[in-house]
Amino acid sequence: MSEFKLNASVRSDEGKGASRRLRRLEAKVPAIIYGGEVEPQSIALLQKDMFKALENEAVFSSVLTLNVDGKEESVILRDLQRHPAKAVLLHADFQRVSADTKVHIKVPVHFLNEDTCKGVKAGGIVSHTLTELEISAPAAKLPEFIEVDLADLELDGTVHISDIKLPAGVESVDLAHGEDHDLVVASVHKPRGAVEAEAEEGEESGEA
């Protein structure tokens, strides 16, 4: 489990003008912490610290520790706004959590044995339908990612959410809505060109 610790400071100036000055003159990211039984708090973090944390995809699916002027807060990163053209973070939203806080969050899906699965050996290619999975879990049990083993995936086979063995305490938000939401995560099929070529060969054999 990755550990993320970020330093932050309380900010009193709010509004668009104050946020622009914060980003431009101090190279900081305006942010807010909300949730729990405490009032929302406006804070600021260094842009470089945030960019460093964002190098690890797990930052979006982990409990982070914010040191706000010496007081530690356990949070998850709920929203992040980026400048559309510049390498600048515009704003971040953090939600306070405790170990048993039930959290709904999206985590990345990591595929194992993709290049050596049975379907690929039979001439197929793997298609990823989902690269993230929405889960519900206590904050203390949040996984950084979900692993999906494709080793036994046959040609023309599919893997659904219900086929994934989730860690203890982790539930799929989609499956909680019923069987109709059992989405395809990955599948393996022959390339379109190969299928068309086989069809043409079949037609020619039939003509012969």
Q: Which of 93-107, 157-171, 193-207 has the lowest mean pLDDT?
A: 193-207
Contacts of 65 by beta carbon, 8 Å cutoff, 6+ apart: 3, 4, 5, 6, 72, 73, 74, 75
Q: What is the pLDDT of residues 115-126, one digit of tens each?
A: 999 999 999 999
User: Which of 78, 94, 133, 96 has its CA nearest to residue 111?
Assistant: 133
Output the CATH code of domain 103-195: 2.170.120.20
Binned at pLDDT 50, 70 and 90, residue 206 comes out as low
Using CA atoms, how far apart are residues 110 and 21, in angstroms rounded to an integer?
40
Q: What is the pTM of this model?
A: 0.81
| Domain 4-97, second-level architecture | Beta Barrel (2.40)
Structure tokens at 201: 């060969």
Structure tokens at 95: 């939600």
> Do 68 and 43 meet the contact criterion of CB atoms below 8 Å apart?
yes
Using CA atoms, how far apart are residues 160 and 185, in angstroms rounded to an integer?
5
Using CA atoms, how far apart are residues 184 and 45, in angstroms rounded to an integer?
39
Using CA atoms, how far apart are residues 44 and 54, in angstroms rounded to an integer?
16
Binned at pLDDT 50, 70 and 90, residue 198 comes out as low
Domain with CATH 2.40.240.10 in the chain: 4-97
- Check whether 162 has a pLDDT greater than 80: yes
Domain with CATH 2.170.120.20 in the chain: 103-195
